[in-house]
Structure 1
Amino acid sequence: MRAAVLGAGSWGTAFAKVLADAGTDVTVWARREEVAASIRDRRVNPDYFPQTRLPDRITATAHAGEAITGAEVVVLAVPSQTLRGNLAEWVRHLEPDASLVSLMKGIELSTTKRMSEVIVETSGVAAERVVVVTGPNLAPEIMLEQPAATVVACTDLDRAKAVQKAVTAPYLRPYTNTDVIGCELGGAVKNVIALAYGVATAMGLGDNTKATLITRGLAETLRLGVALGADPLTFAGLAGLGDLVATCSSPFSRNRTFGEHLGRGETLEEAQTSTRQTAEGVKSCLGIRDLARKHGVDMPITEQVERICHEGVAPKVAMLALMNRELQHEVR
Structure 2
Amino acid sequence: MKQKIAVLGTGSWGLALGNTLVENGHDVTLWGRETDQVEELQKHHTNKAYLPDIVFPKELKATTDMAEAIKGADAVLFVVPTKAIREVAIRFRKLCQNQPVIIHASKGFEQETHLRISEILAQEIPENMRRDIVVLSGPSHAEEVAVKDITTITAASKNLEWAEYVQQLFMNDYFRVYTNDDVIGVETGAALKNIIALGAGAIHGLGLGDNAKAGIMTRGLAEITRLGVAMGADPLTFIGLSGFGDLVVTCTSIHSRNWRAGDMLGKGYSVDDILATMGMVVEGISTTKSAYELAEELGVEMPITEAIYQVVYGGKKAEEVIQDMMLRDKKSEKEF
Contact residue 183 and residue 239 of structure 1 kept, 8 A: yes
Offset, 1:55: 2.1
Choose the corresponding residue for 2:174, options 152, 171, 174.
171
Alignment-mate amino acid for residue 276 of structure 1:
G
Structure 1 window deviating more from structure 2 (320-329 vs 131-140): it is: 320-329
* Corresponding residue to 1:93 among 92, 95, 112: 95
Distance 1:77 1:331 in 2: 37
Aligned AA (2:325): L
Work out whether 1:65 is the aligned partner of 2:64.
Answer: no
Mapping for residues 32-43 of structure 1, pairs under 5 Å:
32-43=34-45
Q: In the TM superposition, what are the counterparts of 1:120-131 in structure 2 within 5 Å?
A: 120-125=122-127, 129-131=132-134
Q: Tell me, yes or no, if the aligned pair for 1:24 and 1:57 is still in contact at 8 Å.
A: no
**2:77 aligned partner, one-letter code:** V
Q: Provide the residue aligned with 1:162 in structure 2.
A: 165
1:251 is aligned with what amino acid? I
Partner of 2:76: 74
Q: Could you list the runs of 5+ residues in structure 2 that have no partner in the other structure?
A: none
Question: For the Cα contact (< 8 Å) 1:4–1:67, is it kept in 2?
Answer: yes
SS in structure 2 opposite 1:230? coil
- The alpha-carbon deviation at position 131 of structure 1 amounts to 0.6
1:136 partnered with 2:139: yes
Task: Measure the CA separation in 2 of the matches of 1:268 and 1:205.
Answer: 21
CA contact (8 A) 2:200 2:259 kept: yes
Please report how far the alpha carbon of residue 72 of structure 1 lies from its aligned counterpart in structure 2 after TM superposition: 1.0
Q: Is the contact between residue 72 and residue 98 of structure 2 (CA under 8 Å) also seen in structure 1?
A: no
| Deviation (angstroms), 1:128 | 6.8
State the aligned residue count: 332
Q: Which residue of 1 aligns with 2:215?
A: 212
Q: Which amino acid aligns with 1:300?
A: P
Q: C-alpha distance in 1, partners of 2:149/2:165? A: 23
Question: How many angstroms does 1:125 deviate by?
Answer: 2.9
Residue deviations 1:84-109 (CA, integer Å, cap 9, x gap): 12211111233543111111100111
Percent of aligned pairs sharing the same letter: 37
Query: Partners of 1:227 and 1:37 in 2: how far apart?
Result: 46
CA drift at 1:159? 0.6
Matched, 1:148 2:151: yes
* Separation in structure 2 between the aligned mates of residue 42 and residue 166 of structure 1, nearest angstrom: 26
| Alpha-carbon spacing, 1:128–1:318, altered in 2? closer, same or farther (3 Å) | farther
Among 83, 86, 109, the residue aligned to 2:85: 83
> Of the candidates 239, 246, 260, which is equivalent to residue 242 of structure 2?
239
Q: Residue deviations 1:200-254, cap 9 Å, x none?
A: 0010111110000000000011101111111111111100000000000001000
Is 1:322 aligned to residue 325 of structure 2? yes
> Which amino acid in the other structure matches residue 133 of structure 2?
V
Q: Using the alignment, how far apart are the partners of 2:112 and 2:151 within structure 1?
A: 34
Q: What secondary structure sits across from 1:28 in the alignment? A: strand
After TM superposition, the score normalised by the length of structure 1 is 0.97
Q: CA RMSD of the aligned region, Å?
A: 1.3
Cα distance in 2 between the residues matched to 1:158 and 1:69: 24
- CA distance in 1 between partners of 2:225 and 2:210 (Å): 22
How far does residue 51 in structure 1 lie from its aligned partner after superposition? 2.5
Give the partner amino acid of 1:42. Answer: H
Shift of 1:331: 2.0
Provide the C-alpha distance between the structure 2 equivalents of 1:326 and 1:291, rounded to a whole number of angstroms.
23
Unaligned runs of 5+ in 1: none
Which residue of 1 is the match for residue 9 of structure 2?
A: 7
- Which residue of 2 is the match for residue 102 of structure 1? 104
The one-letter code of the counterpart of 2:83 is Q
Alignment partners' CA distance in 1, 2:206 and 2:23: 41
Q: Which amino acid aligns with 2:262?
A: G
* Structure 1 partner of 2:293: 290
Determine if contact 1:106/1:114 at 8 Å carries over to the other structure.
yes
**3-state SS of paired residue (2:62):** strand
* Structure 2 SS opposite 1:108: coil
Residue 266 (structure 2) aligns with: 263
Residue identity matched to 1:163: V
What is the Cα deviation at residue 50 of structure 1?
A: 2.7
Of 34, 54, 57, the residue aligned with 1:55 is 57
Deviation of the 1:33 alpha carbon: 1.3
- In the alignment, what sits opposite 2:205? 202
Aligned equivalents of 1:56 and 1:71: distance in 2? 19
2:334 equivalent in structure 1: 331
Tell me if 1:114 matches 2:116: yes
Q: Are the equivalent residues in 2 in contact too, given 1:148–1:172 (CA < 8 A)?
A: yes
Distance 1:89 1:208 in 2: 47
